[in-house]
C-alpha cells in the first residue's frame, strides 16, 4: 500500500474515532478500553508491553505498545489496588506514567480528547520513526540525527585535490590545538566557517579531517534534519546541539546542507512549515551570537547553494569565513584516485593519470565510486587485481549514472567550451583595455550557477573609459565569436556573456552618455519606478522615438564590436586552435602559461588599438 494513501486513511480513521468518541460520550460510556484483572496488568508491565500508564483515583489505565501491523494501540484498564511497588516497577520498565485526580464522567471526557491524541501521536511517531530512527520519546532531543564522533580518524591525507581549502583550514586546526596560546596572544578566530561547493567534493570529509587533525570531537547534523513537523522542535534541537558542543569543547559542530534551514527568510511564502524553519534559523543565530569561541567550539557548515542563504547567517561574527571547495581539476582527480586506490590491489596496466583524464567533471564522491565499482567488477570475475578494463567499465557505469542527473559533459560540449573560453582569453590578450587573463578553465563549474558569491570586485564600481568598456565588450563577445569561427555554428553557452554585453552597451548609451548620436545625456527612466520612488527619477517618460534610437545605438555598438572581435580571432585562428586543444588536454591553463605558449608557437598577437 502506498504510504500517502495509508496516511490519508489514517486521518479519516482518526476523524471517525473522534466523531465516535463524541457520540459515545453522550451515553457516558466509552468501551474502547479493555478491562483486565490487576494481575494481568502487572504481567503486562513485567513483559514490557506497556507504553504508558495513567493513574486515576480509582482506576489505572494502560496504553499497550503497538504490535506489528497494528495501526493503533490497545488500551487496558484495571481497578486500582493498594500496591506500593507499582511506581517502582513502572520506572524500572521505563513505562511513562502520569496521574489524574479526576474520576467519573469527567474522566471519560478527558479520555475523549486523550485517545485520539494518543492515536495521532502514535501515527506521527510511526511516520517519523522510519525517517529518523527515533521514537516518540526522543522528539526534541537532537539525538535523532545528531552524530558524534569522538575521533573521526580522518586526516588531511584522506582529502585530496583541495589544497587551497586545506591551507585555509590549517589555521582552525592550529587554534583548536593551541587554544591557550591563541587566547594569550589575543588572536581572533573565526566562529563559523562555511564550506561552499558542489555536492560530493569533500566538504564533509574536510570538516571531519579538521576534527581528526586537531583530535577534537565532531558533532554533525544535517540542515534538512532540522525541518521538523512539530513547532518548537527545530529550535530545541539547535539549543541542545550547542549545549552539547559547549560541554565537549574544544570541538567542531558541523551543519551539513545549511541551506535547508538557512534560506532567505522573506523570500519564502508564508506557511506553517516556513515559520518553523524561521524559528530554527533564529535560534541558530541566537546561539551563534551567544557562544564564546574562546571555549573552542568551531562551527562549520556546508552548502552548494550559498546564494539562497539568509544574509544574516553570513554577517561578521557568524559564518564570515567562506572556503570554496570546487570540482577537482585533472591533477586533483589523480590525487583523489590515489587516496582511494591505497587499499586496492592494482594491476600492472593501471595508469591513474589516464583514469583522471577520462573523468572530467567528476567530484571526489564520483571518483570514490569509480574505484569501488572497479574493485567490485574485478572481484565478480575473480581477478586477482583490479585492471584497467575494470576501471574503464566502472567509469562508463558511473557516467551513465551521472548522465541521468545531467552532470556530465560530452566530448563535443567540452570542445565547444574549450573554443569558447579560448576565444575570451585571446581577445582579452589582444585588446589593451581588458584585464589580464589569470586562468582559463573548462572544468564544469557547478558553482558558476551559484553566481560566484565569493568573487569580489564588482565591475561597475570602477571608473571606466569608453574604450575600456568597448574592450570589455569585445572580451565578452570573444566566446561566441570563437564558436562561430571554429564550428560555423553557435551554442547557447554564450547567453550570460551576451546578457552582460547588452547590459554594458545599454548603460553606455543610457547612463554614461557615451553614444555620439544620443549625445551626453542620460535616459535612465526606462527603469521601472520603485515602490518608494515616488517623485524621484520618474518624471521623464521616454518617447517611443527616443527609445527606438537608444535601441539602435545599442545595436550599433554591439555589431561594431562583433565585427572587430571577428577580425581579431580570424587573424588568430591558429592560436585559437592550439589553445583550445591544450585546454581540452589540461582543463586548466594559467595566464602566464597561456602567454608563454602563445608567444612560443607564433609571434604574440599584435595589440590592436581600440575603436
Ligand atoms: P560533500 O560533503 O561535499 O557533499 P563528502 O565529503 O560527503 O562530500 O564526500 C563523499 C565521499 O566522497 C567522501 O567520503 C570521500 O570518500 C569521497 N571524496 C569526496 N571528496 C574527496 C576528496 N577531495 N578527496 C578524497 N575523497 C573524497
Ligand atoms: Zn563565455
**Domains of the chain, earliest start first:** 3-108 (3.30.720.210), 139-324 (3.40.50.300), 330-400 (1.10.8.60), 411-599 (1.20.58.760)
Over 50: is that where the pLDDT of 134 sits? no
pLDDT of residue 327: 86
Percentages (nearest 5) of helix, strand, coil residues in the chain: 55, 10, 35
pLDDT of residue 108: 55
Atom of ligand 1 nearest to the CA of 158: 25
Lowest-confidence region among 318-322, 329-333, 430-434, 522-526: 522-526
User: Does the annotation mark 459 as catalytic?
Assistant: no
Give the pLDDT band of residue 461 (cuts 50, 70, 90): very low
pLDDT of residue 606: 54
Rounded Cα distance between 319 and 207, Å, is: 14
Candidate of 169, 195, 368 to mutate for ligand 1, largest count of ligand atoms within 8 Å of Cβ: 368
- Reference 425, options 381, 355, 474, 462; nearest CA is 474
What strands, in cross-sheet order, belong to the sheet with 75-79? Answer: 34-35, 75-79, 59-64, 50-55, 96-99
pLDDT of residue 139: 40
Q: What are phi and psi for residue 303, nearest 5 degrees?
A: -155, 150
Is the pTM here over 0.85, yes or no? no
Q: How far is the CA of 4 from the centre of ligand 1 (A)?
A: 34
Say which ligand is closest to the CA of 364: 1
Q: How far is the CA of 448 from the centre of ligand 2 (A)?
A: 12
User: Can you tell me whether residue 49 is helix, strand or coil?
Assistant: coil
Rounded Cα distance between 508 and 515, Å, is: 7
Higher pLDDT, 229 or 566: 566
Over 70: is that where the pLDDT of 183 sits? no
pLDDT of residue 160: 94
Q: Whose CA is nearest to atom 11 of ligand 1?
A: 365
Measured in residues, the chain has a length of 611
Rounded Cα distance between 309 and 529, Å, is: 28
Q: How far is the CA of 60 from the centre of ligand 2 (A)?
A: 76
Rounded Cα distance between 386 and 410, Å, is: 26
Q: Whose CA is nearest to atom 17 of ligand 1?
A: 365
Say which ligand is closest to the CA of 493: 2
- Reference 210, options 260, 236, 171; nearest CA is 171
User: Can you tell me whether residue 132 is helix, strand or coil?
Assistant: helix
pLDDT of residue 447: 38
Say which ligand is closest to the CA of 325: 1
Higher pLDDT, 142 or 116: 116
Q: How far is the CA of 336 from the centre of ligand 1 (A)?
A: 9
Say which ligand is closest to the CA of 446: 1
User: Can you tell me whether residue 149 is helix, strand or coil?
Assistant: strand
- Reference 507, options 466, 544, 535, 543; nearest CA is 466
Over 60: is that where the pLDDT of 125 sits? no
Pick left, alpha or beta for residue 537 (phi over 0 → left; psi -120 to 50 → alpha; otherwise beta): left
Over 80: is that where the pLDDT of 368 sits? yes
Catalytic entry in 421, 429, 484, 553: 421
For strands 34-35 and 75-79, give the pairing: parallel
Q: How far is the CA of 200 from the centre of ligand 1 (A)?
A: 5
Over 80: is that where the pLDDT of 513 sits? yes
pLDDT of residue 230: 61
Q: How far is the CA of 314 from the centre of ligand 2 (A)?
A: 29
Q: Whose CA is nearest to atom 5 of ligand 1?
A: 202
Give the pLDDT band of residue 458 (cuts 50, 70, 90): very low
Q: How far is the CA of 543 from the centre of ligand 2 (A)?
A: 35
Highest mean pLDDT, choosing among 72-81, 128-137, 176-185, 507-516: 507-516
Say which ligand is closest to the CA of 335: 1
Q: Whose CA is nearest to atom 14 of ligand 1?
A: 205
Helix (H) / strand (E) containing 220: strand 218-222
Give the pLDDT band of residue 428 (cuts 50, 70, 90): confident
Candidate of 200, 341, 447 to mutate for ligand 1, largest count of ligand atoms within 8 Å of Cβ: 200
User: Can you tell me whether residue 441 is helix, strand or coil?
Assistant: strand
Atom of ligand 1 nearest to the CA of 328: 23
Give the pLDDT band of residue 375 (cuts 50, 70, 90): very high
Question: What pLDDT, in 10s, does the model give residues 334-345?
Answer: 999 999 999 899
pLDDT of residue 266: 52
Give the pLDDT band of residue 193 (cuts 50, 70, 90): very high
Lowest-confidence region among 83-92, 120-129, 323-332: 120-129
- Reference 420, options 360, 504, 495; nearest CA is 495
Give the pLDDT band of residue 407 (cuts 50, 70, 90): low
> What's the rounded mean pLDDT across residues 86-104?
74
Are residues 146 and 221 in contact, defined by beta-carbon separation less than 8 angstroms?
A: yes
Over 60: is that where the pLDDT of 129 sits? no
Atom of ligand 1 nearest to the CA of 162: 23
Are residues 586 and 499 in contact, defined by beta-carbon separation less than 8 angstroms?
A: no
Over 70: is that where the pLDDT of 468 sits? yes
Give the pLDDT band of residue 6 (cuts 50, 70, 90): low
Cell of 255: 551543519
- Ligand 1 binding residues, C-beta < 6 A: 159-162, 199-205, 302, 336, 339, 364-365, 368
Are residues 389 and 367 in contact, defined by beta-carbon separation less than 8 angstroms?
A: no
Over 60: is that where the pLDDT of 267 sits? no
Candidate of 300, 306, 365, 407 to mutate for ligand 1, largest count of ligand atoms within 8 Å of Cβ: 365
First and final CA of the chain: distance in angstroms? Answer: 72
pLDDT averaged over every residue in the chain? 76
Candidate of 152, 153, 163, 205 to mutate for ligand 1, largest count of ligand atoms within 8 Å of Cβ: 205
Q: How far is the CA of 205 from the centre of ligand 1 (A)?
A: 5
> What's the rounded mean pLDDT across residues 155-167?
92
Atom of ligand 1 nearest to the CA of 199: 4
Amino acid at each position: 500500500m502506498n504510504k500517502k494513501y495509508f496516511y490519508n486513511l489514517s486521518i479519516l480513521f482518526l476523524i471517525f474515532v473522534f466523531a465516535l468518541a463524541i457520540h459515545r460520550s453522550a451515553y457516558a460510556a466509552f468501551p474502547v478500553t479493555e478491562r483486565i484483572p490487576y494481575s494481568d496488568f502487572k504481567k503486562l508491565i513485567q513483559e514490557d508491553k506497556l507504553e504508558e500508564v495513567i493513574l486515576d483515583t480509582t482506576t489505572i489505565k494502560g496504553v499497550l505498545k503497538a504490535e506489528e501491523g497494528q495501526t493503533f494501540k490497545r488500551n487496558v484498564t484495571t481497578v486500582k489496588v493498594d500496591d506500593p511497588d507499582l511506581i517502582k516497577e513502572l520506572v524500572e520498565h521505563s513505562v511513562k506514567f502520569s496521574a489524574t485526580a479526576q474520576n467519573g464522567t469527567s474522566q471519560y471526557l478527558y479520555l475523549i480528547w486523550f485517545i485520539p491524541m494518543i492515536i495521532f501521536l502514535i501515527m506521527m511517531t510511526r511516520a517519523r520513526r522510519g525517517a529518523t530512527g527515533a521514537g516518540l520519546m526522543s522528539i526534541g532531543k537532537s539525538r535523532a540525527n545528531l552524530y558524534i564522533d569522538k575521533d573521526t580518524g580522518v586526516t588531511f591525507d584522506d582529502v585530496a585535490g583541495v589544497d587551497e581549502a586545506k591551507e585555509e583550514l590549517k589555521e582552525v586546526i592550529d587554534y583548536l590545538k593551541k587554544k591557550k596560546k591563541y587566547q594569550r596572544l589575543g588572536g581572533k578566530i573565526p566562529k563559523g566557517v562555511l564550506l561552499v561547493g558542489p555536492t560530493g567534493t569533500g566538504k564533509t570529509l574536510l570538516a571531519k579531517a579538521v576534527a581528526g587533525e586537531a583530535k577534537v570531537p565532531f558533532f554533525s547534523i544535517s540542515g534538512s534534519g532540522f525541518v521538523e513537523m512539530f513547532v518548537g522542535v527545530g529550535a530545541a534541537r539547535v539549543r541542545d546541539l550547542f549545549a552539547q558542543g559547549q560541554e565537549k569543547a574544544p570541538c567542531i559542530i558541523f551543519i551539513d546542507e545549511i541551506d535547508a534551514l538557512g534560506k532567505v527568510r522573506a523570500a519564502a511564502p508564508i506557511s506553517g512549515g516556513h515559520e518553523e524553519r524561521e524559528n530554527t534559523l533564529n535560534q541558530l543565530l541566537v546561539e551563534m551570537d551567544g557562544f564564546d569561541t574562546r571555549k573552542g567550539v568551531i562551527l562549520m557548515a556546508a552548502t552548494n547553494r550559498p546564494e539562497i542563504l539568509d544574509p544574516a547567517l553570513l554577517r561578521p561574527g557568524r559564518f564570515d569565513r567562506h572556503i570554496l571547495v570546487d570540482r577537482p581539476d585533472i591533477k586533483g582527480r589523480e590525487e583523489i584516485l590515489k587516496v582511494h586506490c591505497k587499499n586496492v590491489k592494482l594491476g600492472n596496466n593501471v595508469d591513474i593519470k589516464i583514469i583522471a583524464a577520462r573523468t572530467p567533471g567528476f567530484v571526489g564522491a564520483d571518483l570514490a565510486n569509480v574505484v569501488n565499482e572497479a574493485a567490485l567488477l574485478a572481484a565478480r570475475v575473480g581477478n586477482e587485481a583490479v585492471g584497467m578494463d575494470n576501471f574503464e567499465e566502472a567509469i562508463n557505469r558511473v557516467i551513465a549514472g551521472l548522465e541521468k542527473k545531467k552532470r556530465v559533459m560530452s566530448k563535443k560540449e567540452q570542445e565547444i567550451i574549450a573554443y569558447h573560453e579560448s576565444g575570451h582569453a585571446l581577445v582579452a590578450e589582444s585588446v589593451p583595455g581588458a584585464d589580464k587573463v589569470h586562468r582559463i578553465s573548462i572544468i564544469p563549474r557547478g558553482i558558476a550557477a551559484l553566481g560566484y558569491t565569493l568573487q569580489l570586485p564588482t565591475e561597475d564600481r570602477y571608473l571606466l573609459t569608453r574604450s575600456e568598456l568597448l574592450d570589455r565588450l569585445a572580451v565578452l563577445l570573444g566566446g561566441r565569436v570563437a564558436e562561430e569561427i571554429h564550428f560555423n555554428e553557435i551554442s547557447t553557452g554564450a547567453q550570460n556573456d551576451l546578457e552582460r554585453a547588452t547590459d554594458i552597451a545599454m548603460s553606455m548609451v543610457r547612463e554614461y552618455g557615451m553614444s555620439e548620436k544620443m549625445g551626453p545625456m542620460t535616459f535612465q527612466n526606462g527603469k521601472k519606478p520603485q515602490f518608494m520612488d515616488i517623485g524621484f527619477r520618474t518624471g521623464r517618460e521616454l518617447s517611443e522615438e527616443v527609445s527606438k534610437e537608444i535601441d539602435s545605438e545599442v545595436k550599433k555598438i554591439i555589431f561594431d564590436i562583433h565585427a572587430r572581435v571577428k577580425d581579431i580571432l580570424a587573424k588568430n585562428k591558429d592560436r585559437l586552435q592550439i589553445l583550445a586543444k591544450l585546454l581540452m588536454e589540461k582543463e586548466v591553463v594559467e595566464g602566464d602559461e597561456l602567454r608563454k605558449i602563445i608567444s612560443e608557437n607564433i609571434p604574440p598577437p599584435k595589440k590592436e588599438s581600440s575603436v
